Amino acid sequence: MKKYTICIVGGGSRYTPDMLTMLCNQKERFPLEKIVFYDNEAERQELVGKYAEILFNEYYPGVEVVYTTEPEEAYTDIDFALMQIRAGRLEMRASDEKIAIKHGCLGQETCGAGGFAYGMRSVPAVIDIIKDIRKYSPEAWILNYSNPAAIVAQATEKVFPEDHRIINICDMPIAIMDMYANVLGKKRKDFEPRYFGLNHFGWFTNIYDVETGHDYLPELRNILNTPNEFKTEKLFEEPSWKATFDFMSSMISDYDEYLPNTYLQYYLYPQKMFKKQDINHTRADEVMEGNEKEVYEMLEAVIKLGKIKGTAYEPEENAGCHAEYIVDLATALANNTNEIFLIMTKNNGTCSNLDPDMMVEVPCRVGTNGVEAISVGEIPTFYKGLIENQHAYEKLTAEAALEGNYMKALKALVLNRTVVNTDVAKALLDDYIEANKGYWTELK
């Protein structure tokens, strides 16, 4: 079996250690020759790189480990690029969130005004990276996790319309399916979902049993709408995630069909969500003080010990859905498994009454030839209206970032359901322009 060379772009990320665990777990199905870590921050890159050397020496000997801040060294002759960058790090996420709250708007990372600011940073960074990858590895598969994924997907499709080896994905629908599986006492891979929408803006229409074809969706709606049946404290440690899944029961109670992506709470209940936010301690602060700090402390401890086996830092068998999903996708592409994944792809009639150029998130079969969307059919009026408005916002944001177009940026913010007001949009845009100097394309 061929052994692959992969590059983790954003290799210094707190998500990388779990990804490495998953690669070790998958070594029989997705064997590696070489793994390269690329990041523009040498200090974090070195931490992850040294940890990887120890991990692979003990759990996956024979794999060459390289970490670098040089694009040519990172991208030359690779088979896969697994991209997970965060332009501006969590410090800029905190800025995004707090500026939005200051103006009476939601400060969420990928939704609303915060997601707009993040998208304006991410688009130019992602496009530049893809150009570099294509310079040194024209045929590599590029699997992109970078947020806000919907806006990034819109931009990559616009700039690289003929490049079908760029695949944009998100682990949130998978995290939701993990929760469904937990509720039903099953495993996520026991299910075959049907889903439509945009990234962070979609609905499950069916949750089929892969063996029997039974649809669990009605049963799940009933359980999730019954608070004493659905105990989130057993599933989530972080308060913000517990609150997110707790609120799902409200959405299910208010709407009569399907199962919503949790992020729809920000668009369908913006005032309720705004009241829960604290300008002095946002989700970015929670992550920086919690998970991010814990991950880097673990890396430092392992490096100091010089080993992992026999210590408190042995990796868990379950690497988490973020790591599992992207490595499973790479495995499907390499081995032609024709498994079903939820992927952002050009609509092209998949949702028959939506814009064919829209980047929809739908179930797709994946094999060595790439991605093939499974037909969804006609989208009902309510959902179609929401999706078309959201798509217009995402499209204008991507274009504003690519073109440096102030008017498109303003119109995008006004279209966003969490902003709407033109005066507020102008004030937000002024503050974001000031805060993002050096990150955004200059707006004219």
Q: Which of 171, 178, 328, 431 is catalytic?
A: 171
Burial 352-378 (b: 16+ CB within 10 A, else e): eebeeebbbbbbbbbeeebbebeebee
Note whether 396 and 116 are within 8 A (CB): no
Active site residue 171: yes
The vertex-216 CA angle with 265 and 193, nearest 5°, equals 70
Instruction: Please pick, among 15, 38, 263, 383, the residue that the annotation labels catalytic.
Output: 263
End-to-end alpha-carbon separation of the chain, Å? Answer: 52
Over the chain, what HEC string results? CCCEEEEEECCCCCCHHHHHHHHHHCCCCCCEEEEEEECCCHHHHHHHHHHHHHHHHHHCCCCEEEEECCHHHHHCCCCEEEECCCCCHHHHHHHHHHHHHHCCCCCCCCCHHHHHHHHHHHHHHHHHHHHHHHHHCCCCEEEECCCCHHHHHHHHHHHCCCCCCEEECCCHHHHHHHHHHHHHCCCHHHEEEEEEEECCEEEEEEEEECCCCCECHHHHHHHHCCCCCCCHHHCCCCHHHHHHHHHHHHHHHHCCCCEECCCHHHHHCHHHHHHCCCCCCCHHHHHHHCHHHHHHHHHHHHHHHCCCCCCCCCCCCCCCHHHHHHHHHHHHHHHCCCEEEEEEEECCCCECCCCCCCEEEEEEEEECCEEEECCCECCCHHHHHHHHHHHHHHHHHHHHHHHCCHHHHHHHHHHCCCCCCHHHHHHHHHHHHHHCCCCCCCCC
Residues taking part in catalysis:
171, 263
